[in-house]
Amino acid sequence: MKVATPVQMNEIDRMTINGMGIPGVVLMENAALKVFEEVDKILGVLSRKTVIIFAGKGNNGGDGFAVARHLFNKDTRVIVYIVLPKKDIKGDAGINLDIIENMGVEIIELDNNTQVKDIENRLIEADLIIDGIFGTGLKGDVSGVIRSIIEAINGSGKHVLSIDIPSGLSGETGKVLGECIKAHKTVTFALPKVGLVIQPGCEYTGELIVADIGVPRRVIDSVNIKVELIDKGLVSSLIPSRHSETNKGDYGKIFIVTGSLGMTGAGCLTAGAALRTGAGLVYLGVPASLTSIYDTMITESITLPLDDGGSGYLKKEGLELVLKQLDKSTAAAVGPGLSVSDDIIQLVSRIIEYSKIPLILDADALNAISKDVEVLKKLRCEAILTPHPGEMSRLTGLSIEEIQHNRLEVACEFAKKWGVITVLKGYRTIVAAPGGKVFINPTGNSGMATGGTGDVLTGIIAGLVGQGIKPLGAAVAGVFLHGLSGDSVAETKGKHGLTAGDLVNEIPYAIKQLLLV
């Protein structure tokens, strides 16, 4: 599903009204009806319920006025607070304000002399609060009496529905501009806005409803939108088919370079995830002295002992075998549980320089690359890097705080600068492609904040690439499938105690769920 910036959405609105000839007041009425439908779902019985609406002068306020009309006609007690004088509300919003005034809806103008305590007392009566104060065009921080009103709404304990975007949230960045409505549900129109689906905005959005208000698809398609929210429909279209007349060699040969003393579990999780995703053959390149551990822990993979001098850590002397196996494989994952040493740095560098098959670089491979990121310029194949914020900090020199406050920009800039597909892990994982396309993943939960889940993601992506999915599609499908598996486990077991192994075992069921879409 495409995700628009406020500028793009304004252009879509302009083209719809001026180019297609659909009047703005018609779009406003369609929006109001969609909001009304959600209010009806929340309240069930509208008669004699109390709904308090806060409205500004823009389209969000106009939508709120139109919603007030529909509610008033259903015998709902409606109170409309407007955050500026009536005379300042013009255009389509003004039309709808005039209508509800003529109907006898209670309308209260707010100003700097407004006693917020009076509003707090009125909020006690509310069965529902509708927020239509600010839209996606808000720039500066919310202040003054409006900030106090937002604080009162948030502190009321009442169910809150926001129109298009919670007031106080940046539609561009998802950042809170001073103070922000914390909605239980947000009804947005035509397309989700970037600020609604990334951190921290997604935490203020609540349940997101994307409502069709009649914007022509032709208009949306004419705007160069590069951000997408990953959904089941997209991912189900990417899952590779299974055919009767096939064998294990038809579903990929995955080579995983992994392992060090005390970190054998990482490679086993990666291998298990690749197999559960559908990979035909999985080869584990591991320190020779640890081979028996891998043979015992995961019996379906093929173990390739690599020179470690008996130390339990890979040595550069094992490079020749690594390069030979790369030539026999369809995808390679490098990094889980490797540790970092001069030998590992050299191994990772030579793999990057040599490989002609897609690489998935994770964990200690990323830590090795961070010693000299310029090595990425020597890539001869497509590569997917899967850093968490700490690893991204080492790769970029930015602080974790800077990265977390600008996740979309950081991922996109890194992908473009180094020509790699960048999977910035975390809540709302971001997949950025070198050409500017970016995908935001909505699946996953806090139960997945436990050791080994990143190794599982690496295995899923490697398994998909090995089966012939192009690397960008594999990264997109992989993060969604990874999160969906975690959500399924959380639904049955809860979030506490969820383990990476649970995710591995859930992958086939998650794939089956996607194939039913």
Query: What is the DSSP track for 274-321?
Result: HHHHT-SEEEEEEEGGGHHHHHHH-TTSEEEEE--TTTTB--GGGHHH
Given 187, 209, 225, which residue is the final one in a domain? 225
Same domain for 210 and 237: no
pTM as predicted: 0.94
Domain boundary among the residues 176, 206, 225 is at 225
Q: Do 160 and 302 belong to one domain?
A: no
pLDDT of residue 201: 95
- Asked if 202 and 260 sit in the same domain, the reply is no
* pLDDT, tens digit (0-9, with 9 covering 90-100), for 99-115: 999 999 999 999 877 78
Are 172 and 280 contained in the same domain?
A: no
- Are 366 and 419 contained in the same domain? yes
Task: Write out the chain's pLDDT in tens, 517 residues.
Answer: 999 999 999 999 999 999 999 999 999 999 999 999 999 999 999 999 999 999 999 999 999 999 999 999 999 999 999 999 999 999 999 999 999 999 999 999 998 777 899 999 999 999 999 999 999 988 899 999 999 999 999 999 999 999 999 999 999 999 999 999 999 999 999 999 999 999 999 999 999 999 999 999 999 999 999 999 999 999 999 999 899 999 999 999 999 999 999 999 999 999 999 999 999 999 999 999 999 999 999 999 999 999 999 999 999 999 999 999 999 999 999 999 999 999 999 999 999 999 999 999 999 999 999 999 999 999 999 999 999 999 999 999 999 999 999 999 999 999 999 999 999 999 999 999 999 999 999 999 999 999 999 999 999 999 999 999 999 999 999 999 999 999 999 999 999 999 999 999 999 999 999 998 7
Domain that holds residue 270: 233-515
Same domain (yes/no): 307, 415: yes
Task: Evaluate whether 1 touches 227 at the Cβ level (below 8 Å).
Answer: no
Q: Which long-range contacts (CB under 8 A, 24 or more apart) does 447-451 make?
A: 447/486, 447/489, 447/490, 447/494, 447/495, 447/496, 447/497, 447/498, 448/483, 448/486, 448/498, 448/503, 450/498, 450/499, 450/500, 451/500
- In this structure, the answer to whether residues 328 and 200 fall within a common structural domain is no
Which residue type sits at 301? S
Residues 356 and 497 placed together within one structural domain of the fold = yes
Distance from C-alpha of 207 to C-alpha of 335, rounded to nearest angstrom: 37
Interhelix angle 91-103/59-72, rounded to 10 degrees, is: 20
Judge if 134 and 215 occupy the same domain.
yes
Neighbouring C-beta atoms of residue 47, cutoff 10 Å: 9
- So what's the pLDDT on residue 155? 97
Is 240 found in the same domain as 192?
no
Q: What are the structure tokens assigned to 231, written together?
A: 């959904």
What's the total number of domains in the chain? 2
Q: Are residues 368 and 476 in the same domain?
A: yes
Q: Which residues pair with 331 in a beta bridge?
A: 254
| Of 327, 386, 318, 376, residue with least CA distance to 356 | 327
The CATH number of residue 218's host domain is 3.40.50.10260
Same domain, 193 and 240: no
